[in-house]
Amino acid sequence: MLTTEIPSLSLQMERILYELNQGLRTGEDDHWRTLQQQILEAPRIFLYGQGRSGLAIRAFANRLGHLGKETHFIGEITCPPIQKGDLIIAGSASGCSQALNGMFDKAREYGAKTAALTTSPNNPLASKSDLVCLAAGHAKGETDGSVQPMGALFEQSLWLSLDALVLCLMDATKQKDEDLHRRHANLEA
């Protein structure tokens, strides 16, 4: 039997939304605009992320496909080789994954551009990136005063930032929801 009072769901939502609102205001808009331009110019876009960050990146890959961009999630069996002029975008709160840092090294060897979506400009992935876009939050195991567990703030701010970027890309390419819907999967029941 619980002896403490359980906080209300709406109170917890208010705490999360307040935190997101504060964190999303700290993004460097110029870097995100540069990423938008690179996405528009890239012939193909390769994306990567692990865990919950990877889910946000996968959702973004899906939306880029709906926008008519050729996108590939690294690690999928249908992923082709990266080439000069392609763009690789990866999300990692810590930027310390050896596998991800190795991918960026290899992508640069092949002449691809690299963009890191992360929490700090001073991590290993950021140092290997042509472009660093910051999202609110912290890596698992670190604390920054977030009311949320582990890397939840980063994952949420990444998801929202990427959804906002999709809206910017829609405006830039003069596409509407109907245009994206025409490229939506149509085989599901």
Rounded Cα distance between 150 and 154, Å, is: 9
8: which strand partners? none
Q: How would you write 65-106 as a 3-class SS string?
A: HHCCCEEEECCCCCCCCCCCCCEEEEECCCCCCHHHHHHHHH
Q: What tokens were used for 22? A: 């504060």
Q: Is 155 a catalytic residue?
A: yes
CB 137 within 8 A of CB 93: yes
70: which strand partners? 44
Among residues 61, 68, 69, 111, the alpha carbon closest in space to that of 90 is found at 61
Residue 124, Cβ neighbours under 10 Å: how many?
18
Spot the catalytic one: 28, 41, 142, 155.
155
- Active-site annotation, residues: 155
